Amino acid sequence: MPIDLGLSRVTKLLRHLGNPHINTYKSIHIAGTNGKGSTVAYLSSILTQAKVRNGRFTSPHMVYYNDSICINNEVYPLAKFKSISDYVQKENTSLRLGCTEFELLTVTAFKIFELERVELAIIEVGLGGRLDATNVLESFIDDRTTGHKGGVIATGITKIGIDHEALLGDTLAAIAYEKAGIMKKSVSCVVDRQNDQEALDVLKKVAKDTMSDLYIVDGISEAETYPTDKSCCSDDVKSLVEYSPLKGDYQLQNLSIALKILDVIKLQNHSSLNDENGESKLTTDSIKLGIKKTVWPGRLQSINIPKSGLRLLLDGAHNESAAIELAKYIERIRNDGSGIIFVIALTKGKSIDNLLKHVIHKNDTIIPTVFSIPDQMPWVSSYSCEDVQKVAKNYVEDVRNISASGQSIEQVLDYVNELKLSGDNRNVVVCGSLYLCADILRYVDTVSK
């Protein structure tokens, strides 16, 4: 079923399954419009290198449905995933709860983390925060009388922008309020300082109401804290970001949030984060290696198509904030002012203008395409090639609708490769949706075998 925000159904199902998210492992909860996935990826990679057994839950899935769930940075095997997923679905049906697909996926992730005995789970919000299914997470209370071993020990909020207005509101303040809904009583929250002041004001108010220490970081100067004056400073993020394989200036912000969260939980001195001598596993070496090994596909990702050798830049920019960041990066790869070949598909309901007005120059070429309906998400579909073509003509003269809307990504890549073989030396950028990036990555995976 389509998106239906709320916590009642997922709460009942998790209670029936023994509340694994509360009783068995600690969690870090991350919200934001852009950058939350990269922040989660940094955290998972660093914790893995530090030998802290961790689970990672992100959405939507990238290439295959089960890659939403990872253990120690490795995708959870499909057969094991399906076994737990089927069990969760069976219980949902038996109880007649009517959980949505995302709620079932969330419960599956939480149950897998219990069965895999993770010490720490890093959870990305699906949509919004306050009413998102992942927000059944509760504060960790270090009180032996509760009997709870788990709960949230830190939260993070990345860059907030206008997106999903119909569900979250059409102002930054309204959307920030929804994101701030993940703040928990007395649990520290780390926030991107580059958020607009309108959003920061809302986050500060919610932090005060929830008695949460709010660390506002930007990767350059020391963290501003609110409402307390506690200090908790990581190594110079500008030097550490040099180890990151992830591209884009905004990764400085995402890494800054991840490192500050690690600082915060390190000071809490949880036994699962320490070695047998009581020393923290989060050493400088493990942090550097974790950053270096971070992988997050579909975000300014350069790939080569096997056999043809065609080189592409993939970016799932799907809203205006992401389009602005993509445009900044593209300006670096334009060759002497020459145009770029764009392959573009967008999800219905997204603004085509808000992508094109930032990334397109008049001498570019646009090839509209479509993406396949993502697994387990039948309500998601792309604009037709004709829809994109109609808007694109307002920005460039060279729009090439090369086939009917039912074209395959293989057809598009073959066409672009022919252009390159005929002497077109322009860079190729694929953007507009993570679902389009997923189609490309699945194709690469298929032809590589």
Confidence of residue 128 (pLDDT cuts 50, 70, 90): confident
Confidence of residue 147 (pLDDT cuts 50, 70, 90): low
Query: Identity (one letter) of the amino acid at 7?
Result: L
- pLDDT of res. 229: 37
Maximum distance among all Cα pairs of the chain, rounded to whole angstroms: 73
| Alpha carbon distance 226, 32 (integer Å) | 19
Classify residue 384 by burial, with Cβ atoms within 10 Å: 0-12, 13-18, 19+: middle
Looking at the chain, the whole-number percentage of residues with pLDDT higher than 90 is 71
Confidence of residue 226 (pLDDT cuts 50, 70, 90): low
- pLDDT of res. 232: 39
- pLDDT of res. 249: 86
Confidence of residue 141 (pLDDT cuts 50, 70, 90): confident
CA 35 to chain centre: 6
- The listed CATH number (3.90.190.20, 3.40.50.280, 3.40.50.720, 3.40.50.10490) that belongs to domain 301-448: 3.90.190.20
- pLDDT single digits (tens) 231-284: 334 457 878 888 999 998 889 999 999 999 999 999 888 888 888 888 899 999
- pLDDT single digits (tens) 291-308: 999 999 999 999 999 988
| Alpha carbon distance 288, 300 (integer Å) | 21
In this prediction, residues 63-72 reach a mean pLDDT of 95
- pLDDT of res. 169: 73
- Cα–Cα distances (Å) from 360 to 257, 314, 344, 387, 437, in that order, read 31, 15, 11, 17, 19
Query: Interhelix angle for 352-359 vs 385-392, to 10°?
Result: 50
Give the domain ranges of the chain. Answer: 7-293, 301-448
- pLDDT of res. 334: 81
Domain 7-293: which topology? UDP-N-acetylmuramoyl-L-alanine:D-glutamate ligase (3.40.1190)
Considering only residues 11 and 150, tell me which one the structure prediction assigns the higher pLDDT.
11
- pLDDT single digits (tens) 414-433: 999 999 999 999 999 999 99
In this prediction, residues 60-72 reach a mean pLDDT of 94
Residue 225, pLDDT > 60, answer no
Model pTM? 0.91
| Alpha carbon distance 164, 179 (integer Å) | 12
| Alpha carbon distance 282, 189 (integer Å) | 19
Confidence of residue 80 (pLDDT cuts 50, 70, 90): very high
Q: How many residues make up the chain in this entry?
A: 449
DSSP helix/strand/coil, 359: helix
Mean pLDDT rounded to a whole number for the chain = 89
- pLDDT of res. 276: 86
Confidence of residue 230 (pLDDT cuts 50, 70, 90): very low
CA 379 to chain centre: 20
